[in-house]
Amino acid sequence: MLPSEKIAIAAHLHVLLRRKTGRVTDTEWMACNAEYATEIVGFARARAKEDGHADLADWADKLEVAMAAPNAKRPGLARYLNPETAPHPVMVTPTVTVGLNAGKASEHRYISGIR
């Protein structure tokens, strides 16, 4: 699933939670942090059951499914960067490859310290 699709679901849940329970959440964090998403899904379900908000439970389910799905890259960009599927010949330089893996590299970088 695309990160933007996850953000869309999280944003929907954010609006519902705010309207129906007054709870303020962080949409972007919800769409990228599984632990936080699980916390919010649990809260939404509990309040849905308590107050009878069926739509809240539905969107909590949707977020749970979305968070379980792996992140997909934008298909257009992936196709363009793959020399075999690119619409015209492209030179994939090491810089571009590093760029695609930058998220992974920075993830390792910030474990056990910021510097």
Which residues make up the interface to another protein (CB under 8 A)?
11, 14, 24-29, 33, 35-36, 39, 106-115
Cβ-contact 17, 56 below 8 angstroms: yes
Q: Where do the H-state alpha helices sit in 22-111?
A: 27-32, 34-51, 54-68, 75-81, 94-100, 102-109
Q: Rank residues 3 and 80 by Cβ distance to another protein and give the closer one.
A: 3
* Least distance to another protein, CB of residue 89, Å: 30
Q: Rank residues 43 and 80 by Cβ distance to another protein and give the closer one.
A: 43
Q: Rank residues 93 and 106 by Cβ distance to another protein and give the closer one.
A: 106
